[in-house]
Structure 1
Amino acid sequence: MEETYLLNVEGVRKKILHGGRGELPKFQDGSKITFHFQTLKDNFERTVIDDSREAGMPMEIIMGKMFKIEIWETLLCSMRTGEVAEFWCDAIHTGMYALVSKGMRRIAEGRDPLEGQKHRCGMGNMFDYHSTGYDDLDELQRTPQPLIFIMELFRVEEPSAYKRDTWAMSKEEKLAAVPVLHSEGNRLVLQKDFQRAAEKYQEAVICLRNLQAKEKPWEEGWLKLESLVTPLVLNYCQCQLELGEYYEVLEHTTELLQKHN
């Protein structure tokens, strides 16, 4: 086994367990990285905390999108495709791990990763902040400690090589996506595929709503975006009418009337 110290990274050690192939992939903002990971305690037993293989699917992160465990981007960027490596990370890099693990576990269990954070106030929120709902993660939260990450890098995809989720798009990408989604929705309506057309219109509205959230309500930037939202919502409602979803149509059209009254 080859041991390497990552340059310019304090509190990290790397061991290559299985060499990768080719040159280092081209990592850039927006790249999608797919990998398996195992998290272990730095104790004699090397207690396993998490294992993505047990969840049945590899992990995916988008470069430059403020993933809570920032050091993971650094670790992955040192790896070749197919490489398996073990990283020891000091506690200065692992403080957020318990919260990230909590979210990943809930997703694997088919639960909302934000469950427990919504519709609560006062003492409820204070309690939720101090407890993850998992005893081993609560311990990590109380006592930050070094952790070991074993990672296997599967692939690195350039931003143009995959369809990005709305949350992973930049402002410019969201704006550019809206007319494309609108056009696709119109095409599907002509084909009488109202379900898929509604999904396209809905995705376009989500892009615009995300952008609106960064503007002050009723000011120029917000109003410009709202003028793009309205026809999309009406198109969406037209599809829902065809699908027999009358209550949803009533809800959306009432909201539009109240907003523009």
Structure 2
Amino acid sequence: MGTSESKFGRGSNCNLTSVDSVNKIMTDLIAKLYEQGIAKKLLGCGKGDLPEYADGTKIIFHYRTTKCDDEKTVIDDSRKHEKPMELIIGKKFKLEVWEDCLKTMRDKERALFIADTKHVMGYPHVSKSLRGIFGKDKNHEHHEGGHCCGMMAMAEQGLGYPDLDDLVKNPQPLEFTLEILNVQTPNGYEKDTWAMSEEERTDRIPVLKEEGNALYAEKKYGEAAEKYGEALGLLEQKVLKEKPGDTEWEKLEDMKKPFLLNFSQCKINLQEYYPAIEHLSTVLKRDPDNVKALFRRGRAHIGAWNPVEAREDFNRVIELDSTLSGAVKKEIKILDDKQKLKDENDKQKLKGLFS
């Protein structure tokens, strides 16, 4: 096995049983892995043919990482997490060996891979990230500190996990037991934002608006707010790539307004007034005379009990559009009734203090 035989040669604790395949493509892939210092042992047959694994394919799988010692010391086990691991082919996952191994597996297959040291040098850092994402050792104290430059600084500062710190100081071959739960083609699932191309992100924005509007019509305000919020996130990513004040930057900022307004209305309906006030203020900072934003912020101020600010917004609405005076009067009556009730409650409290 070339240079890897020094790691996996006779007397090694790792069993290097390679797998015969009914599929020549799979056989070639496994042979290529073996030449690179990665051996495969089949533990459970999968279903169907070997997937094409085109870029964009999502693989959902469980992993178990162990040392190649007599005890087979377990480092990580995804079955202890709330959900399995997901990897998208072609997105340059930090641990390339996993992508290479998974490409040799059928759907529902379970296999053991033994990887030479050179392929797993980055595993401690990947493991630390995954433990943070999946919530392992929630009470564990991480030693974050500042950013380190070079392996020497990392070795001195540590990753905050003794077992991972040991792997950094003592690099060694590792065993990965992988089990594929599901393989989804590039067009067979709804991509997360980070996995989308720029064109896909742009196309997603109007779709999110339609989905949000449909959910709002069904009075599913929380779910609708999530759709509007996702669209705002996509727009913000695009805004950050433009120079403030340029034509494209101005266009994108204007595109945010309907999403901010809709998001805020959802929050008002959910009686979550402070985020509504914040997002409506964002609209008014750019468009001070936006009547819809002023009216909705006035309602949100009533809910948050900011009576002075509410009256200011409603007075401004009437100045800008007298046709809304009827709607404003209804809101002012709500405000007045709440003020009377509050005054009466305060009066009763004062009586109680002096009785």
TM range, smaller chain:
0.7 to 0.9
Q: Which residue is equivalent to 2:195? A: 168
* 1:25 aligned onto 2:51: yes
1:184-212 deviations in whole A, cap 9, x for unaligned?
22223333332222111111111222233
Name the structure with the higher strand share. Answer: 1
Please report the TM-score for the alignment, with normalisation by the length of structure 2: 0.64
* 1:209 aligned onto 2:230: no
Deviation at 1:54, TM superposition (A): 2.5
Q: Which residue is equivalent to 1:125? A: 146
Sequence identity (%): 43
CA contact (8 A) 1:2 1:17 kept: no
Judged with a 3 Å threshold, the aligned counterparts in structure 2 of structure 1 residues 78 and 109 are, in CA distance, closer, same or farther, namely same
Judged with a 3 Å threshold, the aligned counterparts in structure 2 of structure 1 residues 143 and 228 are, in CA distance, closer, same or farther, namely farther
Higher gyration radius (CA):
2
Judged with a 3 Å threshold, the aligned counterparts in structure 2 of structure 1 residues 160 and 143 are, in CA distance, closer, same or farther, namely same
* 1:142 aligned onto 2:149: no
Judged with a 3 Å threshold, the aligned counterparts in structure 2 of structure 1 residues 211 and 52 are, in CA distance, closer, same or farther, namely same
* 1:178 aligned onto 2:205: yes
Q: Which residue is equivalent to 1:62? A: 88
Q: Give the match's secondary structure for 1:7.
A: helix
List aligned pairs for 1:1-261, cutoff 5 A.
3-4=18-19, 5-7=30-32, 10-109=36-135, 124-126=145-147, 130-258=157-285
Deviation at 1:226, TM superposition (A): 2.1
Name the structure with the higher helix share. Answer: 2
The amino acid that maps onto 1:103 is S
Q: Give the match's secondary structure for 2:105.
A: coil
Q: Give the match's secondary structure for 2:69.
A: coil
Deviates more, 1:36-45 or 1:3-12: 3-12
CA contact (8 A) 1:30 1:62 kept: yes
Deviates more, 1:124-133 or 1:228-237: 124-133
Deviation at 1:237, TM superposition (A): 1.1
Judged with a 3 Å threshold, the aligned counterparts in structure 2 of structure 1 residues 69 and 185 are, in CA distance, closer, same or farther, namely same
Judged with a 3 Å threshold, the aligned counterparts in structure 2 of structure 1 residues 56 and 246 are, in CA distance, closer, same or farther, namely closer
Q: Distance in 2 between matches of 1:21 and 1:242?
A: 48
1:153-195 deviations in whole A, cap 9, x for unaligned?
2221012222222222211111111101111222233333322
Deviation at 1:42, TM superposition (A): 2.1
Q: Give the match's secondary structure for 2:168.
A: helix
CA contact (8 A) 2:143 2:160 kept: no
Q: Give the match's secondary structure for 1:244.
A: coil
Q: Distance in 2 between matches of 1:12 and 1:2?
A: 11
Q: Distance in 2 between matches of 1:6 and 1:215?
A: 48
Q: Distance in 1 between matches of 2:208 and 2:111?
A: 41
Deviation at 1:125, TM superposition (A): 0.9
Is there any run of 5+ residues in structure 1 with no aligned partner, and where? 118-123
Is there any run of 5+ residues in structure 2 with no aligned partner, and where? 1-15, 20-29, 289-355
CA contact (8 A) 1:17 1:84 kept: yes
1:33-60 deviations in whole A, cap 9, x for unaligned?
0111111112232211111123253221
The amino acid that maps onto 1:64 is G
Deviation at 1:69, TM superposition (A): 0.6
The alignment yields a C-alpha RMSD, in angstroms, of 2.6
Q: Distance in 2 between matches of 1:215 and 1:60?
A: 32
Judged with a 3 Å threshold, the aligned counterparts in structure 2 of structure 1 residues 66 and 227 are, in CA distance, closer, same or farther, namely farther
The amino acid that maps onto 1:253 is L
Q: Give the match's secondary structure for 1:25.
A: coil
Judged with a 3 Å threshold, the aligned counterparts in structure 2 of structure 1 residues 67 and 218 are, in CA distance, closer, same or farther, namely farther
Deviates more, 1:214-223 or 1:138-147: 214-223
CA contact (8 A) 2:17 2:39 kept: no
Deviation at 1:108, TM superposition (A): 3.2
Judged with a 3 Å threshold, the aligned counterparts in structure 2 of structure 1 residues 224 and 101 are, in CA distance, closer, same or farther, namely same
The amino acid that maps onto 1:69 is L
Q: Give the match's secondary structure for 2:36.
A: coil
Q: Which residue is equivalent to 2:316? A: none
